[in-house]
Amino acid sequence: MSARPGEPKGDGITGFPFAPAREGSWKVTLPCTKAEAERIAEDIPELAPFDPQPTVMTSEPDPERPDDWQLDVYVEDEPDKALLTAIAALAPSAAGAKPVVTHIPEEDWVTLSQSGLEPIRAGRFFVHTPYNADRVPDGMTGFLIDAGRAFGTGHHETTTGCLMMLDKLRQSGLRFDDIADIGTGTGLLAFAARALWPAAKTIASDIDPVSIEVTAENAAVNAIPTGRGRGQVELAVAAGMDHRRLKARAPYDLLIANILAGPLIELAPVFADAVLPGGTIILAGLLDSQAEAVAQAYRRQGFYLADRIVRGDWPTLRLVKRRR
């Protein structure tokens, strides 16, 4: 998955997006504008030539100054002049500002990425790391999701919004039998859907093989069976719906996609073909400024906007396919 403002590329940990090398990792920080952060959310060609690929995160440090954002770029080795120049090109508004380069020792990563993450409450769900495994409140559904290699620990507003929307659907009495979670990251949303509708068949996919490895690990930790049967979660590595199992199991009555606005728009016809009339799509990973363009793409495919949950700048959309 690509980076979006407030979210590190390839992870769900605000501030520490990848496991560091033996000596630790490095962070480069610059101020940026909200407009620059939104552009970075779509594409980062300036960093494409570098290997290993830097990891990018943007954030809004002070809600009272909504146009003043911060750019953080994480790299495994100490950044050289070429990389610093490429990073500076991402934030033209910071011209003349000296990048702040910080070394992150390995022990800091372990401590901060785990113990520093507070549990997330979203509807009936309580998402936590091993450090908070004994804090699941009575009556809530707990998921242990380690801070690690894939996006979707629940600590980003997009994931939290999806969890809240799923819980809201269950509270309204809706039932789903065939569920797909596209761009699953850690598997969290697929696990939540299975918890709400345990008799359903669920499949979780991601374009990144590492995400599916992480999802399998998380399924084992949370005692969630994987497989093709009801009450199980099937796993697949796929770009969009491009997998024989995703196609074979369609049409779905619930499809979840927490990815990015551009791919959501591009995939609208494909997702529409994969959803039953009367079926539901939950879309997230888009900024509020992108919501109308995404919704319009699905209206053209016969959907109507049924609900939305907004957390900060991040809306979660629920669309329903019209019955013809």
- For residue range 185-222, what is the model confidence (pLDDT) as tens digits? 999 999 999 999 999 999 999 998 988 998 999 999 99
- The domain boundary, picked from 69, 85, 104, lies at 104
Q: Total structural domains in the chain?
A: 2
Please tell me whether 159 is known to bind a ligand.
yes
Q: Is pTM, for the whole model, over 0.85?
A: no
Residues 33 and 178 in one domain: no
Asked if 58 and 180 sit in the same domain, the reply is no
> Are residues 237 and 154 part of one domain?
yes
208 assigned ligand-binding residue: no
Q: Does residue 164 lie within any of the structural domains?
A: yes
| Residue 135 token pair | 């804090």
CATH number at residue 185: 3.40.50.150
Question: Is residue 206 part of an annotated ligand binding site?
Answer: yes
258 assigned binding-site residue:
yes
Tens digits of per-residue pLDDT, 83-108?
A: 999 999 999 999 889 999 988 776 54
Residue 9 falls inside a structural domain: no
How far is 282 from 264, CA to CA, in rounded Å?
11
Joined together, the tokens standing for residue 33 give: 């504008």
Sign, CA torsion 191/193/195/197: negative
DSSP string over 176-225: -SEEEEES-TTSHHHHHHHHHSTTSEEEEEES-HHHHHHHHHHHHHTT--
**Domain end (from 83, 104, 125):** 104
